Amino acid sequence: MVVVSALLLNLLLNHLPILIFYTPDQLDPDGLRIGYVFSAIISLFFYYFVERERSKKRLQAERLRSARLQKESFQAQLESLKNQVNPHFLFNSLNVLGALIHKNPDKAEKFVEKLSDVYRSFLDHSPQMLVPLHKELEIVDAYMYLLDTRFEEALRFEKIIPEEKLSLQLPPGALQMLIENAVKHNTATMRKPLVIKIYTDEKNLVVSNELQLRKEDVPSTKTGLANIQSRYAFYTEEKVQIEKDGNQFTVKLPLLKVETYESSNY
């Protein structure tokens, strides 16, 4: 179509005026041949520029389509990862409740009320991609109450979070999931309490505990740390750091700056 248009344009601008204003005996064959060659070159240049613009538009449209499909794919993967968190939280909470029912029915009743509050709060935050640290701590504080109810003096928390870190962001449920894993895989007794430390360094939220691994095998859904690492991969190139130094197990969660993202619903 471009070639045909170029030829028609060339015919109208060059050859038609010659046929109208000159007789056959006035035409110079060499000049005509040069004119044809010159016209062909102009047509090729016209074709090249038109086709180049068309290719640019096609490439741009393809890039937009690819970016849209990639974004939709990422969102689907992220939703799948987020949907693993709610059952994981509920599963562990019901285990706590099951043990508490036989030990102290009155506390179990209060535990159910608190669990309802925690789970409601967790569901409110769960649809968000990222939440401020102070929001995550609201859930964690309530969850620590549930754990304190069951373990009493066998479990202790040491939490030091500077005020200036509270507005930084992280995936919802990440901190709470680390606490779950620490309690799930370690023993906690009055004689040897399990101490979980929560604090910050320059760029990270740090959760650390001494390794007091249970002797018996603990059933695991394997969604904890892998889930957190996968969700972080959507937001930053900074890695979740997992350190096992002697008897100490430490996980560092990168704290993300608010201005890096347009919205925590992004």
Euclidean distance between CA atoms 225 and 57, whole angstroms: 44
Backbone φ and ψ of 158, nearest 5°: -120, 110
Instruction: Judge contact between 86 and 174, C-beta under 8 A.
Output: no
SS3 210: strand
Question: Would you give the DSSP letter of residue 134?
Answer: H
- Cβ neighbors of 135 (< 8 A, separation 6 or more) are 125, 172
Which tokens belong to 197?
Answer: 């430390």
What pTM was computed for the model? 0.61
**Domains, the chain, with CATH or none:** 2-59 (no CATH), 76-260 (3.30.565.10)
pLDDT band at 264 (very low <50, low <70, confident <90, very high): very low
pLDDT value of residue 201: 92
Length, in residues, of the chain: 266
| pLDDT score at 146 | 79
**pLDDT at residue 184 in the model:** 85
From CA 62, how far away is CA 65, in angstroms rounded? 5
Give pLDDT tens digits for 190-220: 999 999 999 999 899 999 999 988 877 666 6
- Please write the tens of the pLDDT for every residue from 118-168: 777 766 766 677 889 998 898 888 888 878 877 889 999 999 999 999 999
In this predicted model, what pLDDT tens digit does every residue of 18-53 receive, in sequence order? 555 455 555 555 555 555 566 666 666 666 777 777
Strands 248-254, 241-245: pairing kind: antiparallel
Tokens of 33: 């041949």
What is the C-alpha to C-alpha distance for residues 246 and 51, in angstroms, rounded to an integer?
A: 66
Q: How many CA atoms lie within 13 A of 263 on its CB side?
A: 4
